[in-house]
Amino acid sequence: MTAKYRPFIKATYLVGVLLIVSAVSDPIIRSWPVRLGDLKWRFGAAGLFTDAVVGIIFGLVWLMAVAAILDHRRTLRTLSALNLLFALTLCALIVGFGLDFLQVRSSVNPQLRGSLDFTVLRALVTIALSILTTGALGVSGWRSTREARRVAAQDSREGSMLYRPIQAKGGTSA
């Protein structure tokens, strides 16, 4: 990568932050104030959050890509850990949402249950795929930082671009 583009690429970190903030802000505003004891509120808030998950993942992917391009290994490792934490959070969400759905469904007009079932199925599939996605991003991001560190260590042992040890005929360094 050409050094002249680094300032521009660094500035694009803000794009990832913007994607996450804009995805999260709408469900927070629409479900405020928090009422965890209210079954219908929990069910509705989880449904709203499900719609925000894809935007959050896009933001995380963007941030990870920028960190990888700039070789910011600690940032990439931190984002990888956040992805794994997000995957665990989504696991809790899918269980809670599913249980709340079973309770809410019994109180819904029987004529509307079909559309509710379809909407909840869509949300559950989205959450399940998001768990797989964030898990894969977390693991692959973490592994790539180890690989990058291994390559950097190998390059430093082999010498720099300016100086490379000359191999003697016997295979040892001169």
Q: What is the pLDDT along the chain (174 residues), one digit of tens a residue?
A: 568 899 999 999 999 999 999 999 999 999 999 999 999 999 999 999 999 999 999 999 999 999 999 999 999 999 999 999 999 999 999 999 999 999 999 888 888 888 999 999 999 999 999 999 999 999 999 999 887 666 666 666 665 555 555 555 655 554
Q: Is residue 169 part of a domain?
A: no
Q: Domain range spanning residue 78?
A: 3-158
Model confidence, pTM:
0.80
Please give the radius of gyration of the chain, using alpha carbons only, rounded to the nearest integer: 23
Q: Is residue 171 part of a domain?
A: no
Q: Is residue 170 part of a domain?
A: no
Q: Is residue 14 part of a domain?
A: yes
Domain count, the chain: 1
Q: Is residue 65 part of a domain?
A: yes
Q: Is residue 72 part of a domain?
A: yes
Where residue 166 falls (left for φ over 0; alpha for ψ -120 to 50; beta otherwise) is beta
